[in-house]
A and B are shown apart, each in its own frame.
Chain A
């Protein structure tokens, strides 16, 4: 039997990382008018994306030379030329501090080697099996807490918890440890604003995962952690520091983004009841509803790359050593690629792929799991909450944030 290591809480137990994170990501109601203005200025615009929306200083990146790259084709050029636009320098002082030596902070050839090992555990045919065994029980357990009420806040009571609980299930976390786990997972990213609780949370999660790996190697099961702890490719095992860093990132990359993506999907559908009805009647529309939600309000609006040499984008020069704000949101709402880009329309032409999961070698490793989770969640909601609609007595959902987007509440009513 697996003996689970214990997670240690933050020393300052009153510290609320959720509140601090909310303050640091801002409450910008709609960054898209500004994004459209910036894109109209050209494919490369001086300055940082973050500074367009907040005066909260970026202690890690604020002093560095930065440009924004905007528009679908320009953003694709950055993402698909990894020899010029690198990850290591772009992320070693932010995500690298929070998570450690993760594959996001690597470039080829080492990235290529480790990426393939991790991706093997998240290929579509692998994660599809988790739908029934892991995702459905989590979804059903959460829904049972409000299904008899005929009303709920689908953010507070559902989407904010289910992707994290899927991860807890993968990690076989004791339920009593879940609140500390969630708290540490959010606190670790606060290194970006200089909060001392950031490194403290990273260290405590590292100690926990290190103990978990020892235990899983001693007594391996069929779970994700056992697989990653023991997998060998060409006779090589994943180094512990790379594996522990990946597991730290899994909480944010796999938990936080799926929470945001699912919240936006439900918001898009509930604010467009005719599209919600269409999906309820024909579940084959779910994949395109998910893709449209991710295009329309992708959970992450901008990411970083680093120019490793003097270069250019569509004739605009970029100097070596520049940090590139690669504005994914400007690509996904580029009117040259998407007609009426600000509209949520699950029936729009899908001839251009959205890049909410990015593109190129660092494409989101967990996108197939995210799709499984979102599909299972939406199916369960459509099956079990008949006549689902916005609560007319509560404020309408408002998606907020300039970098990470999500509504705070999604109050709904349904028939019992």
Chain B
């Protein structure tokens, strides 16, 4: 399964969960997350995420 993962800390974005505390509603597609959103665990920018096979 392919997922978007923060390469600075390993946090994985789950589309069905979203990031409600960070203003991202459950169900939000990765492409629709704004570029200034940050990893909720380590604060890295969206650009620090890579698509990885889990």
Chain A residues within 8 Å of chain B by Cβ, number: 21
Complexed CA–CA distance, A7 and B50 (Å): 40
Tell yes or no: B43 within 8 A of A by CB: yes
Q: Known pairs A119-B9, A123-B5; list 19 more (Cβ under 8 Å).
A: A82-B43, A112-B8, A119-B8, A120-B7, A124-B5, A124-B12, A124-B54, A125-B53, A125-B54, A351-B20, A351-B21, A352-B21, A353-B40, A353-B41, A359-B42, A361-B8, A361-B44, A363-B42, A368-B10
Known contacts A125-B52, A125-B54; is-contact A360 B5 (Cβ 8 Å): no
Question: Contacts of B12 on A, CB cut-off 8 Å?
Answer: 124
When the two chains form their complex, are residues B8 and A116 in contact, meaning their CB atoms are under 8 A apart?
yes
Nearest residue, chain B, Cβ from A357: B41
Q: Residues of A contacting B41 with CB < 8 Å? A: 353, 359, 363
A116 to B21, CA, bound (A): 25
A contact residues vs B (CB 8 Å cutoff): 80, 82, 112, 115-116, 119-120, 122-125, 351-353, 359-361, 363, 365, 367-368
Chain B residues, Cβ within 8 Å of A122: 10
Cβ B43 vs Cβ A360 within 8 A? yes
List 24 A–B pairs whose Cβ atoms lie within 8 Å, in order of A's numbering. Answer: A80-B43, A112-B8, A119-B7, A119-B9, A120-B7, A122-B10, A123-B52, A124-B12, A124-B54, A125-B52, A125-B54, A351-B20, A351-B21, A353-B21, A353-B40, A353-B41, A359-B42, A360-B43, A361-B8, A363-B9, A363-B41, A363-B42, A367-B10, A368-B10
A237 to B10, CA, bound (A): 21
Q: Report B1-45 CB contacts with A as 1/0, cut-off 8 Å.
A: 000010111101000000011000000000000000000111110
Shortest distance from the beta carbon of B7 to any chain A beta carbon, whole Å = 6
Query: Can you name the residue of chain B whose Cβ is closest to the Cβ of A369?
Result: B10
- Most chain B CB within 10 A, of A82, A125, A351, A352, is at A125
Q: Which residues of chain B are within 8 angstroms of A82 by Cβ–Cβ distance?
A: 43
* Chain B residue at smallest Cβ distance from A127: B10
**Cβ-defined contact, A116 with B7, below 8 A:** yes
Which residue numbers of B lie inside 8 Å of A, CB to CB? 5, 7-10, 12, 20-21, 40-44, 52-54
Report B-chain residues with C-beta under 8 Å of the C-beta of A353.
Answer: 21, 40-41
CA distance A120 to B5 in the complex (A): 11
How close is B44's CB to chain A, nearest CB, in angstroms? 8
Classify the secondary structure of B's interface with A: loop
Q: Known contacts A80-B43, A361-B42, A363-B41: does B8 contact A124 (CB below 8 Å)?
A: no
Which interface residue of B8, B21, B52 has the most chain A CB atoms within 10 A? B8
A365 to B53, CA, bound (A): 20
Instruction: Kindly list chain A residues whose C-beta atoms are within 8 Å of the C-beta of B5.
Output: 123-124
Question: How far does the Cβ of B43 sit from chain A's closest Cβ, in whole Å?
Answer: 5
Nearest CB to that of A364 among chain B residues? B9
Q: In the complex, which residues of chain A have a beta carbon less than 8 angstroms from the beta carbon of B53? A: 125
Most buried by A among B10, B40, B44: B10
- The chain B residue with its CB closest to the CB of A365 is B9
A126 (CB) vs chain B CBs: closest residue: B10
Q: In whole Å, how far is A338's beta carbon from the nearest beta carbon of chain B?
A: 14
Nearest residue (CB) in B for A123 is: B10
Give the most central of B41, B44, B52, B53: most A CB within 10 Å: B41
Give complex CA distance A33, B53 in Å.
45
State A359–B40 Cα separation when bound (angstroms).
8
Q: Shortest distance in angstroms between B52's beta carbon and chain A's nearest beta carbon?
A: 6
**Shortest Cβ distance from B11 into A: residue:** A363
For A115, give its contact among B8, B20, B40, B52 (CB under 8 Å).
B8
Q: Which residues of B contact A119 (CB under 8 A)?
A: 7-10
C-alpha spacing A116/B53, complex, angstroms: 18
Q: A82 CA to B12 CA in the complex, in Å?
A: 22
Closest to A120 in B: B7
Contacts of B8 in A (CB 8 A): 112, 115-116, 119, 361
Chain B residues contacting A123 (CB-CB under 8 Å) are: 5, 7, 10, 52
A361 to B45, CA, bound (A): 11
Determine how close the nearest CB of chain B comes to the CB of A228; give it in whole angstroms. Answer: 16
Q: B43 and A124: CB pair below 8 A?
A: no
CB nearest neighbor in A for B48: A116
A124, B42: Cβ atoms closer than 8 Å: no
Q: With a CB–CB cut-off of 8 A, which chain A residues contact B54?
A: 124-125
Q: Give the shortest distance, in Å, between B51 (CB) and chain A (any CB).
A: 12
